[in-house]
Structure 1
């Protein structure tokens, strides 16, 4: 059974990395979740406390955004087109 791309998108927005798991790319999802956390921690430690929350988590948020787009793109590519000719 194929999962609809919009369902993968919703899951990817709510839970980083899980959209890939739903699209049957679990290793890719685990890598995105790991790097989201890793870069979030790195940018948190490299910035000053005066920096905004978004600025302090910028690395993790960037990977998160790329992850959501990537999960949706893979799900859309793997979706089976519907045959309306019959």
Structure 2
């Protein structure tokens, strides 16, 4: 049944990357895993608060909130990786069906 149905293209990984950079957890929401994005947001806030409490008073803003910045960076990487994996799987599946999403000649085995 899946051979006759068209497989819809996943979200562009660069769109997910841009959204994740601009607004934390938005990349995960675009990908359809909002709970994962909320988990990243929760730990981002908690670790930013903890590092703000233990950082020296003369530290920069990034230094005072280093834990939150670390989780923010990890959430960007996670959303982009998830989008790239979904895109690679989609390309693989469409090539197996005989379609070539990039316009070339698909190899037939």
Normalising to structure 2: TM-score of the pair?
0.73
Unaligned runs of at least 5 residues, structure 1: none
Query: What's 1:13 paired with?
Result: 21
Q: 1:17-56 alignment to 2 at 5 Å?
A: 17-56=25-64
Alpha-carbon distance in 2 for matches of 1:40, 1:30: 15
Query: What's 2:4 paired with?
Result: none
Number of aligned pairs?
86
Q: Indicate which of 63, 74, 84 corresponds to 1:76.
A: 84
Alpha-carbon distance in 2 for matches of 1:30, 1:8: 16
Alpha-carbon distance in 1 for matches of 2:26, 2:45: 14
Shift of 1:12: 0.2
Relative contact order: is structure 1 or structure 2 higher (C-alpha 8 Å, sep ≥ 6)?
Answer: 1
Relative to its length, the structure with more helix (as a share) is 1
Moved over 3 A (4+): none
Q: Point out the structure with max Rg over C-alpha.
A: 2
Indicate the RMSD between aligned Cα atoms, in angstroms. Answer: 1.4
Shift of 1:46: 1.2
Shift of 1:52: 1.4
